[in-house]
Structure 1
């Protein structure tokens, strides 16, 4: 499993027709992967899901309601996914949740493998977003002694953040092999591959800043991740978090077509008030909360694209049954997206207009918290 560097990936590049050489290479790769995927799916998808739970994983309440039923709208891997909402605290969570085997299956070829080139290009073009995230720390510390980016992916945030803090060493942690690539290519001072909750004891008190950008929503246990961050931080250090906002009005207006639902990858989506309270319980003081600045102006464009993609003929992917799409199906797919261009362009313009007042109108699709760790020793943390 890995996490994103820039939030939910903006769809679009896969609709374009690749060059002949790249198309042939991809077709060969898909053909090589097909037997393994079909073997994984031979007995259906039941083994990819845990038993359905009857209580909220955040507060323990049993007052739950279904918020969303959907499918995998990006990769189109088989399976149905349900998000429940707690009536008491507002926490939204996947229920039933994916098992370890399910997480491996649905993450496979999304950020790495078949999806690496597509998403690597998306993340590499977001330097301005990354610098904005780094600058949110600047009023509180002028030159962090060392910074750890958790869920760093290929390390593009750290590369851009060095422009804001040129004297700060940036380390990154991720479950994917991308973190090792980022270290080799110089985007990270050091790359750690593994689970943060398992590695945090070896990092105790090492960092002045720990960042988690669109990471917690991927976690099976966000509370443990927050405790791990406290352990890795030195007393008085800062934890910087950015996550999708399940209270965004677009989430209800667009339903399953709201990109940040990102099923089946997003397991937990917590309202800002819930996260503030949990941070307080762990000995953090929230010093900054932002809603407008973290907003990614892509909601309407992504919804239109996802809808077009849902009705278009499928691309050649190894997890879908049947023969690879022929020339006619490929042409129909391209023609459909071409016909949808008059819708996609106005959606893009509207997204940018909305961005000007998204925070005030509760249309921001994400929020950001910066919290300072207290000076108490870690042994006192429950």
Structure 2
């Protein structure tokens, strides 16, 4: 900027304008009730053909190790969106891998993801993710002992890029790119949270990204993938030799998974397709030519288990909210009953929050209830 730009400039003469008698009101965004009403016909059409078309045939063997020794671990429903359907998680008795069986196919994934991260759910989820800056910074700091100045970092499953925006405060000299199957990566690029936003499948884009990155991160991404082993191979392809892979996933060995049953939030059915025990992931990374240099359980624990379980139980006991996949909106009586029940549950929600944050969090790993684990692995 030149010095001239700091000098006061002559102001142009402005002609007085006549104010119109009637001002045009700014166009209002549709209310949630209007959005739900507009979406209802399409959802009812989707459901008219039944739910079987959303699922693949059931597997008879473990997708991780191939064993045929399977057992049912959990049966549940969609506890967050309340879309219709029943979902089963099976566990391999040999390698202990837990997976959705039968698994959603492409049409099923589209149906159950719709209006969760986008549409009806976009604003709420966006606000939630944007408010987690401290957690994102902690994730970024996990790499510091092994590489305190990476030049390039690809965040896979980046959503709207909020992790990259926060991580830039820890790694100020790093160029962050994001990849996501949705348009979130493109939105993140337009918002300046990532330098480049790739939209698409990581396994398909990996050849284009070969050996381009010092770091690839997958934070709560692998459990959403239909083929986790292929995602790990794609990560190896995208990372330069000597670079690092940072992974964080739900821990299926958490005691909360057993104690809270279907009310354990990380089950997140039907979106979470795979739950990989830490020993399995370590071995697969070793087989791919990585060396695991860090394993954390206490640090990635998100202290929300009791609060979330309480909320899920209350929300599922109360009459349903107005949702487009339900045939009709609730009447006044059901809306009143729902509000009264949720209000009555506020003390339980407060208690759950206090226990999560102050009683359990300091000793979560000692109690074996950490709900996630994190690995940092170096590509050799």
1:167 aligns with 173
1:78 aligns with 84
Unaligned runs of 5+ in 1: 1-20, 375-382
2:18 aligns with none
Higher gyration radius (CA): 2
Q: 4+ residue runs of structure 1 moved beyond 6 angstroms?
A: 21-24
Name which of 351, 354, 357 aligns with 1:349.
354
Question: What CA distance in whole angstroms lies between the structure 1 residues aligned with 2:181 and 2:40?
Answer: 24
Per-residue CA deviations over 1:101-144 (Å, capped at 9, x if unaligned) read 00010001100111000100100100000000000001111111
Pairwise mapping of residues 171-320 of structure 1 onto structure 2 (< 5 A)?
A: 171-320=177-326
Task: Give 3-state SS (helix, strand or coil) of 1:211's partner.
Answer: strand
Instruction: Provide TM-score, normalisation by structure 2.
Output: 0.91
Give the Å deviation of 1:331: 2.3
Give the Å deviation of 1:89: 0.6
Name whichever of 349-358 and 247-256 sits farther off: 349-358
RMSD: 1.2
1:330 aligns with 335
- Number of positions where the alignment pairs a residue of Structure 1 with one of Structure 2: 353
Per-residue CA deviations over 1:20-75 (Å, capped at 9, x if unaligned) read x9996111111111111111110110000111111000000111100000000000
Q: 1:132 to 1:22 in 2, by over 3 A?
A: farther
1:15 aligns with none
Give the Å deviation of 1:231: 0.3
Instruction: Provide TM-score, normalisation by structure 1.
Output: 0.91
Task: Give 3-state SS (helix, strand or coil) of 1:276's partner.
Answer: helix
Q: 1:28 to 1:235 in 2, by over 3 A?
A: same
Name which of 157, 161, 180 aligns with 1:155.
161
Pairwise mapping of residues 51-90 of structure 1 onto structure 2 (< 5 A)?
A: 51-90=57-96
Give the Å deviation of 1:360: 2.0
Question: What CA distance in whole angstroms lies between the structure 2 residues aligned with 1:139 and 1:326?
Answer: 57
Give the Å deviation of 1:330: 2.1
1:367 aligns with 373
Task: Give 3-state SS (helix, strand or coil) of 2:363's partner.
Answer: coil
Task: Give 3-state SS (helix, strand or coil) of 1:345's partner.
Answer: helix
Give the Å deviation of 1:226: 0.2
Name which of 22, 36, 41 aligns with 1:35.
41
2:10 aligns with none
Task: Give 3-state SS (helix, strand or coil) of 1:65's partner.
Answer: strand
Question: What CA distance in whole angstroms lies between the structure 2 residues aligned with 1:325 and 1:367?
Answer: 41
